[in-house]
Amino acid sequence: MSAALPPPPAEPWARRWGRELFGTPWRALASLVLLLLIVWAAAHALDWGVLRAVFQPDAEACRMPGRGACWGVIAEKWRPLLFGRYPYEAQWRPAVAVVLLSAVTLLSAWPRSWRWWLAPLWLVALGAFVVLMFGGVAGLAAVPTNRWGGLPLTIGLAVIGLALAFPLALLLALGRRSRWPAARALCATYIELVRGVPLISVLFMVSFLLPLLWPAGWQPDVLVRVLAGLSLFVAAYMAEIVRGGLQAVPRGQVDAAMALGFGRWPVQRDIVLPQALRLVVPALTNTVVGTLKDTSLVTVVGLFELTGALGLALGGDPTWRPFYLEGYLFIAAVYWVMCFGLSRYSTWLERRLAAA
């Protein structure tokens, strides 16, 4: 047997890119056209967004002819953009609440921390979030929910909505695979009905219909109703993902556990679910991204989360109203950072789980 040859020397990156871009005449032509296009677009973006832009909160300067982007609108309005109508001097509370939830989210993103203590930790974090936002205890002034807004509301709606949806999704997924035809039919009907209607109609239902059903004076808060609608909606989509995970656990696992003397519920709890949930974490992360984006819809029923807060901050102020575009770009960037981060995480996790 001859010794293996050493691998060919790595091609220097400049040569590789040269071949990739200009290897053949057609390739060179395409590259040239595309590069020109990219440079043209980048130059315009740079000119508008940086060189001719106004960064000071000075509406006069922004209105001068020949000026580009008015980032001053962000400098002026970032507090109402991020916190809505939350009382100005108490805005450190939502800020701390958001940092807290983000920290716990980051911690739970790490597979090594998937332990029993994660659930109580989430309960504590959610409790702290609610206490910080509501106030009324420990010397914190009470802030009614109609003053909540901006990023804390977006993140709070998404996180609490998902947390409430998850147990329901688990039940629905198990129910759809139940031995009982009646349970299967009920769960399937619920899932298909909810997946067939738009979220807006569910939000309209909870904000217009539910108030009619309650005796006056004993009305649940609009935020509570929207949260209920959101989680009932998300649960149907989540249930289908969990069901996919349950189906992917080989039948032999169940048989083996039964042979070892496990009962029907312990098999699900100790054997099937832990494997199924691990499998579906990447897909569930995509649901998280979807829910985070879907929270923007609650602005239609009058809650001022990030999207609604923009209208609140700029719509009522004639000085800054012309600079909506910059405002939209700002909140789009905030959403993008959160959603892109989550989707990168999902891909990373998928690779890691596939390798394991």
Partner 1 sequence: MSMSGAPERRSAALGLALQALLVAAVLGGLFWVVQHALEVLRGRGVRSGFDFLAQSAGFEISEGWLDYDSGQPFWRAFLAGFINTVRAALPAALLAVVLGTLLGIGRLAPHALVRGLCAVYVQTVRNVPLLVQMLMLYFALTQLLPDSAEAIRLAPGVFLSKGGLSLPWPLREAGAFWPHGFEWPEQGGFNIVGGAALSPEYLAVVGALALYTAAFVAEIVRAGIASVAPGQKLAAQALGLEPGAQLRLVVLPQALRLIVPALTNQLLSLTKNSSLAVAVGYPELVSVANTSLNSTGRAFECIAIVMAVYLLLSLAISAGMNLYNARVALRGWR
Our CB check for partner 1 shows the closer of 154 and 231 to be 154
Residue type, 311: G
CB of 300 to partner 1, least distance (A): 6
Strand-pair partners of 261: none
Our CB check for partner 1 shows the closer of 127 and 211 to be 211
CB of 299 to partner 1, least distance (A): 7
Our CB check for partner 1 shows the closer of 274 and 316 to be 316
Query: Measuring CA to CA, how many Å separate 350 from each of 107, 193, 332?
Result: 18, 30, 26
If one counts every other C-beta atom within 10 angstroms of the C-beta of residue 237, the result is 18
| Helix pair angle (324-355, 72-83), 10° resolution | 60
Query: Measuring CA to CA, how many Å separate 220 from each of 128, 224, 227?
Result: 21, 6, 11
Residue type, 232: L
If one counts every other C-beta atom within 10 angstroms of the C-beta of residue 276, the result is 22
Residues that bind partner 1 (CB under 8 A): 17, 20-21, 27, 30-31, 34-35, 38, 179-183, 186, 193, 195-201, 204-205, 208-209, 212-215, 289, 293-294, 296-297, 299-300, 307, 322, 324-325, 328-329, 331-332, 335-336, 339-340, 343
CA-derived radius of gyration, the chain: 26
Our CB check for partner 1 shows the closer of 168 and 205 to be 205
Burial of 347 (0-12, 13-18, 19+ CB in 10 A): exposed
Q: Which residue has the tokens 């070892």?
A: 260
Query: Measuring CA to CA, how many Å separate 105 from each of 71, 117, 118, 144, 316?
Result: 30, 14, 10, 26, 35
**φ, ψ for residue 249, nearest 5 deg:** -75, 125
Our CB check for partner 1 shows the closer of 126 and 313 to be 313
CB of 182 to partner 1, least distance (A): 4
Our CB check for partner 1 shows the closer of 124 and 333 to be 333
Nearest one of 136, 140, 156 to 92, comparing CA atoms? 140
Per the CB < 8 A criterion, the answer to whether 62 and 48 are in contact is no
Cα–Cα distance, 84 to 307 (Å, whole number):
10
CB of 127 to partner 1, least distance (A): 28
Our CB check for partner 1 shows the closer of 17 and 114 to be 17
CB of 328 to partner 1, least distance (A): 4
Our CB check for partner 1 shows the closer of 231 and 299 to be 299
